[in-house]
Structure 1
Amino acid sequence: MSILNLGIVAHVDAGKTSLTERLLFDAGAIERLGSVDAGSTQTDSLEQERRRGITIKTAVATFRLGALTVNLIDTPGHPDFIAEVERALRVLDGAILVVSAVEGVQAQTRILLRTLQRLRVPTLVFVNKTDRMGADPDRVIQQIGPKAIPMWRDHEEALAECDDGAMAAYLDNRRIDTAGLTREAKIMPAYKGSAITGEGIAELTRAVQDQLPAAKTEDHRTLQATVFKIDRDGAAYVRVHDGVISARQRIGDDKVTAIDDGHRTSIRAGEIGRVYGLKAVRIGDTIGAGVTQPAVFAPPTLEATVEPKDPARRTDLHRALQRLADQDPLIDLRMDEERNELKIKLYGEVQREVIRDTLAEEYDLAVTFGETVTLHLERPAGRARAGAVLGKDGNPHMATLELELAPGQGLEVAVQVPVEHIPMYVYKTAASFQDAITRYCRDSFTRGGLHGWDVADVAVTVTRCGYSAPNSTAADYRRLVPELLSKALAAAGTVLCEPVHRFAIEGPADALTATLGALPRFGAVPDVPGSARGRFTLGGTIAAKRLPELERALPGLTHGEGTVETGFEGYRTVSG
C-alpha cells in the first residue's frame, strides 16, 4: 500500500478548505459535503474557525484513492498563522497550491510559491472558483510564471521548455515524462475547476495519484521523525521519515502510551500518527537521528503585553499562555522581569484576537493586550574578547573561560581549546560541552543587547577553558557565559536593526507619479517602476512599522484602484 502526505496551501479565501472538503467527499471519506460559510467543514473543527470562516490550526484527514492512502493536511491561509504552514511543509511528500481564478495570485500565494520552490516540494496548482464571475484561469497561469503548465491547453511545448530532457523528447516526438518533471519540482501542472461545484476535481484527483511521489517507506531502524502539531489533549502529530515508533517505546525520558487513541500499535516510515505520552516534545522537534531544520518563513516581528482583567488570576494566565506557547513555540512567551509583564510574539492583529478569544473560551480568562510594538534586534558591530580566570581578579565562579565575539550568521559557536581543558566529568563529551555553551549563549542573547533587544548574527568562539575537579560544575559555566558576553558586547558595540518588508504596488498608470512622490513620506525605498496595459508596477522596501501608513494611503493615491502585496525581507540598520 502506498502513502502520500499531501498538503493543501493557499492565500486566505482562495478555497483551500472547500477543496479539502470536496476531495474527502468525492473519495467517500465523509458522507456530507460541508460548507465554510455554514461552519460545517470536516477540518475546521475549532469553534473560532467555524465562526471566523478561516483555518487557524493545521488539520489532518485521511482518505483512499485506490491503493493510495492520502493523509491530507489542511493548513491556514491567513499570514498571521504562517508558522502552522511552515511546520506542515516539513512533513509533505507533495502539495496542492490553490489559487482563485478571480482574485489571482495574492500576497500569501507568492510567499508560498517561493517557499515550495525553494524546498523543492512537488506541487500541483488548482485554479479554483472558475464558476465565479470574472474568473480568468489563463491570467492566473501567467501570474504564477513559466513553471505552471496549464493542463487544459496544448502543453507539450511548454513542458519542453522546462527541461533539456523534455526538449529532446519533444524534438524526437517522444512522450514527455510529466510525472518525472513534477516530482523533481521542475514544473507545476495546473488544473482548473470549482471546489464548490466539483468541476475539474476528477482531473486533479488523477494527477494526485499519477504525478505526486508516494512517501518513502524504507525502514532502516534508525528513528527519524518530525512533530508538526500538538493537540490540546497533549497528543503529538508525528511524521516518521525512517524507523518505527511503537506503543510503549521509550523516547528520551518519555514513554509512548498510545497511538491514534489506541487503535494502532506503531507508526512506520512514511506514515503520520497521533502519539500520546511524549510530554517533553514541542512543535517542530525532531525525534531520533534527524537534524533540526532552519525556519523557512519569517519570524514574528511584533510583541504585545498580556494582562488578566482580574489581577488575582495572573498565575492562571501565565499557565494558559505557556500551554499555548507549547502548541506554537513562535508565540515565545517571556516574562519581562524588570516590568513584571507577560509578553508574547505575534504575526498580526488577527492572531492576537484569536489568542484573546482562546483564553476567554477555553480558559475562562478575560485579558487585555498592551500596545503592539515592532521587534528590533541587535548585531555586534565588531570583534571583542572577554575572559575570567579561576581564582583571580575576583572571579566568583569555579571556572576559567574566555570568549571571543564577532559578527556572524545566525548563532555560531566554536570551541577552540584542547579537550583536556574541558571538564569531561561534567559534560561527558566535547560535543556536549559545545551544545551547552551554545544553549548558554542563546539564553544570554535573548534581550541581552545594549538596547535591550535580542542579539542575532553573532559568532562566539571559546578560546580558553579551565576547571578544578571535582569542584567546577555546569552552573559555574552557565553563570559565567552571560557575564562574559555582556562585557564583550559592551566592548564590541552593537548595531540596532529593524524589520523590513518588500512591497509590490500595482495601480493605474496615471497614479504612478503621485505614488512615487508619496513613498519618501513613509521611508520607503522604491525600485525602478514598470508599466504595461495602462497599469504600473512598483516594488521596493519599507520598515515594517511604517507599512500600515502606506496601506492606508494607497487608495487615495491610486483612485481606489491600487493593490499592494508585502512579504518579510529581513532586517536593516536603523539610520541615525
Structure 2
Amino acid sequence: MKKIVLGILAHVDAGKTTLTESVLYLSKAIRTLGRVDHGDAFLDYNVQERNRGITIFSKQAVFNWNDCQITLIDTPGHVDFSTEMERTLQVLDYAILVISGIDGVQVHSETIWKLLQHYQIPTFIFINKMDNIHANKEELLSELKKRLNEQCYDFENLDDDFYENIALNNEVLLEYYLKHNTLPKEMLIEEIIKRQLFPCFFGSALKMEGIDTFLNEFTSYIKEKEYPEDFGARVFKISHDKQGNRLTHLKITGGTLKTKAQIGKDEKVDQIRIYSGNKYQLVNEVKAGDICVIKGFKNIMAGQGLGIEEEIIQPVLSPYMDYRIILPEDHDWHQTLEKLSLLAQEDPQLHINYNNHTQEIHVQLMGAIQIEVLKNLINERFGLNVSFDHGKIIYKETILEAVEGVGHFEPLRHYAEVHLLLEPGKPGSGLEYGVNCKDEVLSSSYQRLILTHLKEKEHLGVLTGSAITDMKITLISGKAHLKHTEGGDFREATYRAVRQGLKSTKSILLEPYFDFTLELPVEFLSKAIYDIEAMKGSFVMPDIHREVVSITGSAPVSRMQNYQSEVINYTKGKGRLICQVAGYHPCQDEDEVIKQINYDSETDKDNPTGSVFCSHGAGYNVKWDEVEKHMHIPLQLKKTSRIEEKYQQTTKFDDADKELEEIFTKTYGPVKNRNFMKETPRKLLNEPVYKHIPECYLIDGYNVIHSWPDLKELAKDNLDAARSRLIDIMCNYQGYKKCILILVFDAYKVKDNLGSSYKYHNIYIVYTKEAQTADMYIERTTHELASKYSITVATSDALEQLIVLGQGAKRISSRELRLEIEYLDKEKLAEFKSRQPKGYNYLLQDLKKYHKE
C-alpha cells in the first residue's frame, strides 16, 4: 500500500474544510458528515475554530482510498495564520489546492502557490462550488493557466492536444509522443512530481459531487517516495495536550524510530502517538513516511531536523506587525514571559520577547484576527486577560554591496577571529549561509560551530536595529588558539563580524508591502486611484466598461493597513479590499523612518559592532572602523583600486543609480539599453557619460510639488501658483542643462479629457489624458525614447523608479533634483560674479570725472 502525506490548502471560504469532511466521510474515516456552519467539522474541534468557522491550527487525519494510506493535514486558510500553514509544507508529499468556483484565484491563492513552488511540492487543484450557477469551467481554467501556471489541465477531459502540449516539456516525452501519439501514465506521474504538470478537477464538496472521481484519479497519479535507511525526521509543529505535556509533531524521513529511543544527548522518546482528529493511538515504532507525535522531547523546536536532516528550514512568511502585550496591573512579567514562552514554542513566528530597555513584552503577529485568537488563547491556557497596543510596522534591512565583515574576540585567555563575506541576496530570499574556508585554515568543527552561531540568532541591522534579510553570509576565514579558545569565543567573534560588515557597507531599509485587489463600483474609480497613488502604491488599470471594476496592485503596508474601513465608507459598503502580504521592498520614507526610530548602533551593547583585542595581558575594545588595523588575518577580498574608488565618488547621483540598478537587476534581470561608458579615465576627465546621445529629462510635476516643502505649502493655498512656479524653475533648469525637458502633470481625473501637450518657452508641458496617470505617461515615453535619448526621470516614487530603470533610464529623486538645481543656481551665480569687472563703481563717480573735464 502506498503511504502518502497530503496537505489541503486554500484561501478562506474556498470550501476546504467541507472538502475535507467529504473525503473523510466517503473514505469511511468518519461516520457522520460535519459542517463548518454547524460547528461540528471533524478537524475543527478547537472552541475558537468552531466559534469563528475557520481553521486556526493544522491537524491531521488518516484514511485509506484504493491502494493508498493517506495522512491528510488540514491547514488554516485565513491570511493571519499563514505561518501555521507554511510549517506543514515542509513534510508534504503532495498538496491539494482548493479554489472557489465563484471567487476564482484570489491573492492568497497566489501566495500559497508561490510557497508550494518554493518547497517544490507536487500539486493537484480542486475547483470547488461548481454547483453555483455563476461558476464557469472554461473561464476558471483559463484563469488558473494565467495566474498560476500554463500547465494546469482539466484531467476529466484529456484529449490529443493535452498529450501534444505535455510532450513539449522535454525531449524524452516528445520522442515517445511522436512514436506513439500518446503518453503513458508513468510519464505523467513523473511530470506531476517535477511540478511540470498540475491536474485540475471540478466539483462540489457540499453536495459531494465529483469527489469520488477526484480521489480515484488522485490516487492513480501519485507515487510513494523512496527514503534512506538511516534515521531522519523533520519537526513541523510543537503543541501541548490538555495535561500540559509537550508534543513534538514530525515526519519520519528515513529509517525507523522506536519508543525509548535516545535522540542526541538529552532527548528521549517516551511515547509515539498517531493522531487522527483529536484522538490518537499509541505505537511502538514508526517508519519512513509516517507522521507522528512524540511525547518526551524537551527542547527540539519546529523547523528542526533530526538524524540525517541536519538543516534548519527557515520560513518564507513572517509577521509584519509588532505589538506590545499589556498585562493586568501588578502582574509579574517574569511569570507571564515564562508562560508565553510555551506559545512561542508552538509558533516560533510569534517572536515573543522581553525588551530590557523598555521593560515590555512584545509579540509579532499577522493581523487583527490573530490578535483576538491569541488573546483568547492566553486567557484559556493561563487565565490571563491581556490586551495589545496598536502595534507598529516591522521593518527589515539588507545590504546593497558585498563586504567582508571581521569579528575578533580576545579578552585575557580567550581567542577567536572570524571573517565573513556578506553578499546581497535576491528579494525575498531571506538569509542563506555557506562556507568557503579550507580545513587547514580553520578546522571543520570550528566551521560548523560558526555556522551554528550564525543561525541561532536574529542578527540586527545598523540603520534601525531591524532584522537583516535577503543576503548570503559565507564563512571565508577564521582563526583559533590552541590553548585560549574557549566555548563562546567564536559566538562573540561571529556576532561581531556580522555587525562590523554591516557597518562597513551600504544598507537599505525594507518595509512590508501588500498585494491587493480592490473591487468597487466604477463611479468610485477616480477616488480609489487617487488614494492608491497617495499611498505610493502601484496598480493595473481595470477594464472600465463595467459597473464594478477590480483594481490589482501593491502598496506599502504602513499606508494601506487601515484602508479597508475607508473603502467601506466612501463606497457605502459596496467596495471590498483584499490584501495579502507580498514581501519586503525598499522603504518609501527611509530617512523619516530611520529618524523616527532613532537607533544608535554604537550604543547597542547587546549587539556590538567593534571587536576585543589583547595587549600586555589586558583586553581592549576597538571600534568597527579600526578593526582592520588590528586584525590577525588579512582581508580575503581584493581591495577596490583607488581609480575605481574615485570613479565611484564622482557624483552621488551615479551612486544612487548604481544601487537601484543592482536591486532591479536582482529582481527583474539585466537592465536594457543601459549605455554606461566603461572607461574609467574618461569619466575622471568629466566627459559626458552619454557622449553621442542627447539628454531628455522627464519630470513628474505633482510629485515634485508635493516633495518640495515651499511648493507644497504654496499648493495648499493655490495649486496653479505652485504649478507656475515649478514651470519657471524648470525653464531655468533647462537653460542650465541644455536638454529636452518634458514636465508632466496628472489630468486623468478630468472626464472625457483627451490630454494636451505644448511648448512653453524652452520646455514641453504635458497634461495626461483621462485614466492615464503621470507615471503611466512617463513609463510609456521612456520606453519609446530610450533608444534615441539618454533619459533621466525625476520622481520620488520608488516603484516608478524601478520601472523606468528597467526601460533603460536613469532616475533622480525629487529631493535630489532640488539639490542639483540649488547647486546649479549657486554655481551659475558665482560664474556670473566672476565675470564682472573688478573694483568699485560708486554712484555719480563718472559724473564727477566728466565735470572736471
Amino acid at match of 1:96: I
Q: Residues 86 and 317 of structure 2 are in contact (CA less than 8 Å); yes or no, is this contact kept in structure 1?
A: no
Show CA shifts across 1:347-402 (max 9, x none): 11211111111000121111121221111122246546555474xxxx55722525
SS where residue 245 of structure 1 aligns?
strand
User: Structure 1 155/284 Cα, relative in aligned 2: closer, same or farther at 3 Å?
Assistant: farther
Q: Residues 223 and 245 of structure 1 are in contact (CA less than 8 Å); yes or no, is this contact kept in structure 2?
A: yes
The answer to whether the aligner puts 1:569 opposite 2:588 as a matched pair is: no
Show CA shifts across 1:393-427 (max 9, x none): xx5572252545644335466677775675xxxxx
Whole-angstrom distance in 2 between the partners of 1:458 and 1:66: 47
* TM-score, structure 2 normalization: 0.60
Whole-angstrom distance in 1 between the partners of 2:336 and 2:343: 11
User: Structure 1 396/359 Cα, relative in aligned 2: closer, same or farther at 3 Å?
Assistant: same
The answer to whether the aligner puts 1:224 opposite 2:243 as a matched pair is: no
User: Structure 1 510/442 Cα, relative in aligned 2: closer, same or farther at 3 Å?
Assistant: same
Count of matched residue pairs:
562
Q: Which one of the candidate residues 195, 198, 202 is aligned to 1:188?
A: 198
Whole-angstrom distance in 2 between the partners of 1:30 and 1:444: 44
Q: Please state how far the C-alpha of 1:94 moved relative to its aligned partner.
A: 1.5
Whole-angstrom distance in 1 between the partners of 2:43 and 2:6: 14
Q: Which one of the candidate residues 162, 166, 189 is aligned to 1:162?
A: 166
Whole-angstrom distance in 1 between the partners of 2:311 and 2:513: 26
Equivalent residue, structure 2, for 1:357: 376
SS where residue 309 of structure 2 aligns?
coil
Amino acid at match of 2:358: R
Q: Residues 522 and 550 of structure 1 are in contact (CA less than 8 Å); yes or no, is this contact kept in structure 2?
A: no
Q: Residues 225 and 287 of structure 1 are in contact (CA less than 8 Å); yes or no, is this contact kept in structure 2?
A: yes
The answer to whether the aligner puts 1:304 opposite 2:323 as a matched pair is: yes
Whole-angstrom distance in 1 between the partners of 2:444 and 2:270: 32
Whole-angstrom distance in 1 between the partners of 2:45 and 2:409: 59
SS where residue 326 of structure 1 aligns?
helix
Equivalent residue, structure 2, for 1:317: 336
The answer to whether the aligner puts 1:547 opposite 2:555 as a matched pair is: no
Q: Which one of the candidate residues 294, 299, 315 is aligned to 1:275?
A: 294
Equivalent residue, structure 1, for 2:361: 342
Equivalence map 1:413-492=2 (5 Å): 430-441=443-454, 446-447=459-460, 449-458=462-471, 465-483=478-496, 485-492=498-505
Amino acid at match of 1:203: T
Q: Please state how far the C-alpha of 1:27 moved relative to its aligned partner.
A: 1.0
Equivalent residue, structure 1, for 2:214: 204
Equivalent residue, structure 1, for 2:109: 109
Q: Please state how far the C-alpha of 1:33 moved relative to its aligned partner.
A: 0.9
Whole-angstrom distance in 2 between the partners of 1:212 and 1:92: 13
SS where residue 263 of structure 1 aligns?
strand
Amino acid at match of 1:548: Q
Amino acid at match of 1:375: I
More off after superposition, 82-91 vs 474-483: 474-483
SS where residue 561 of structure 2 aligns?
helix
Q: Residues 417 and 479 of structure 2 are in contact (CA less than 8 Å); yes or no, is this contact kept in structure 1?
A: yes
Q: Please state how far the C-alpha of 1:133 moved relative to its aligned partner.
A: 5.0
User: Structure 1 562/158 Cα, relative in aligned 2: closer, same or farther at 3 Å?
Assistant: farther
SS where residue 231 of structure 1 aligns?
strand
The answer to whether the aligner puts 1:56 opposite 2:56 as a matched pair is: yes
Whole-angstrom distance in 2 between the partners of 1:464 and 1:198: 62
Q: Residues 507 and 536 of structure 1 are in contact (CA less than 8 Å); yes or no, is this contact kept in structure 2?
A: yes
Amino acid at match of 1:363: F
Q: Residues 303 and 314 of structure 2 are in contact (CA less than 8 Å); yes or no, is this contact kept in structure 1?
A: no
Amino acid at match of 2:166: C
Equivalent residue, structure 2, for 1:399: 415
Equivalence map 1:144-155=2 (5 Å): 144-145=144-145, 146-153=150-157, 155=159
The answer to whether the aligner puts 1:15 opposite 2:15 as a matched pair is: yes
SS where residue 43 of structure 1 aligns?
coil
Amino acid at match of 1:9: L
Show CA shifts across 1:73-117 (max 9, x none): 111101111122212222222122111122222221121223334
Equivalent residue, structure 1, for 2:613: none
Q: Please state how far the C-alpha of 1:282 moved relative to its aligned partner.
A: 1.3
Whole-angstrom distance in 2 between the partners of 1:463 and 1:556: 57
Amino acid at match of 1:188: F
Whole-angstrom distance in 1 between the partners of 2:544 and 2:176: 35
Amino acid at match of 1:544: V
Show CA shifts across 1:33-53 (max 9, x none): 111112211111211111111
Q: Which one of the candidate residues 234, 251, 259 is aligned to 2:263?
A: 251
Equivalent residue, structure 2, for 1:333: 352
Whole-angstrom distance in 2 between the partners of 1:105 and 1:42: 27
More off after superposition, 231-240 vs 176-185: 176-185
Equivalent residue, structure 2, for 1:519: 532
The answer to whether the aligner puts 1:531 opposite 2:543 as a matched pair is: yes
* TM-score, structure 1 normalization: 0.87
Whole-angstrom distance in 2 between the partners of 1:547 and 1:31: 46
Q: Please state how far the C-alpha of 1:543 moved relative to its aligned partner.
A: 1.2
User: Structure 1 127/417 Cα, relative in aligned 2: closer, same or farther at 3 Å?
Assistant: closer
Whole-angstrom distance in 1 between the partners of 2:569 and 2:121: 40
Equivalent residue, structure 2, for 1:425: none
Q: Please state how far the C-alpha of 1:12 moved relative to its aligned partner.
A: 1.1
The answer to whether the aligner puts 1:174 opposite 2:176 as a matched pair is: no
Whole-angstrom distance in 1 between the partners of 2:59 and 2:47: 14
Equivalent residue, structure 1, for 2:662: none
Whole-angstrom distance in 2 between the partners of 1:282 and 1:205: 34
Q: Residues 160 and 182 of structure 2 are in contact (CA less than 8 Å); yes or no, is this contact kept in structure 1?
A: no
Q: Residues 7 and 95 of structure 1 are in contact (CA less than 8 Å); yes or no, is this contact kept in structure 2?
A: yes
User: Structure 1 498/532 Cα, relative in aligned 2: closer, same or farther at 3 Å?
Assistant: same
More off after superposition, 480-489 vs 313-322: 480-489
User: Structure 1 443/292 Cα, relative in aligned 2: closer, same or farther at 3 Å?
Assistant: closer
Larger Rg: 2
User: Structure 1 252/197 Cα, relative in aligned 2: closer, same or farther at 3 Å?
Assistant: same
User: Structure 1 151/438 Cα, relative in aligned 2: closer, same or farther at 3 Å?
Assistant: closer
Q: Please state how far the C-alpha of 1:193 moved relative to its aligned partner.
A: 2.0
Amino acid at match of 1:454: A
User: Structure 1 481/33 Cα, relative in aligned 2: closer, same or farther at 3 Å?
Assistant: same
Q: Please state how far the C-alpha of 1:508 moved relative to its aligned partner.
A: 6.1
Show CA shifts across 1:252-285 (max 9, x none): 1211112126731211112222222222211121
Structure 2: runs of 5+ lacking an equivalent: 274-279, 592-853
Show CA shifts across 1:449-485 (max 9, x none): 3422223345556676555543431233334444555
Whole-angstrom distance in 2 between the partners of 1:403 and 1:174: 57
SS where residue 162 of structure 1 aligns?
helix
Q: Please state how far the C-alpha of 1:221 moved relative to its aligned partner.
A: 2.3
Whole-angstrom distance in 2 between the partners of 1:563 and 1:132: 23
More off after superposition, 509-518 vs 186-195: 509-518
Structure 1: runs of 5+ lacking an equivalent: 423-429
User: Structure 1 416/114 Cα, relative in aligned 2: closer, same or farther at 3 Å?
Assistant: closer
Amino acid at match of 1:234: R
User: Structure 1 466/98 Cα, relative in aligned 2: closer, same or farther at 3 Å?
Assistant: closer
User: Structure 1 309/199 Cα, relative in aligned 2: closer, same or farther at 3 Å?
Assistant: same
Whole-angstrom distance in 2 between the partners of 1:167 and 1:538: 45
Q: Please state how far the C-alpha of 1:323 moved relative to its aligned partner.
A: 0.7
SS where residue 166 of structure 2 aligns?
coil
User: Structure 1 341/276 Cα, relative in aligned 2: closer, same or farther at 3 Å?
Assistant: same
Q: Which has the higher contact order (CA 8 A, sep 6+)?
A: 1
Show CA shifts across 1:479-522 (max 9, x none): 44445554554444632221223335456666655443332211
User: Structure 1 162/354 Cα, relative in aligned 2: closer, same or farther at 3 Å?
Assistant: same
Whole-angstrom distance in 2 between the partners of 1:128 and 1:406: 47
Identity %: 25
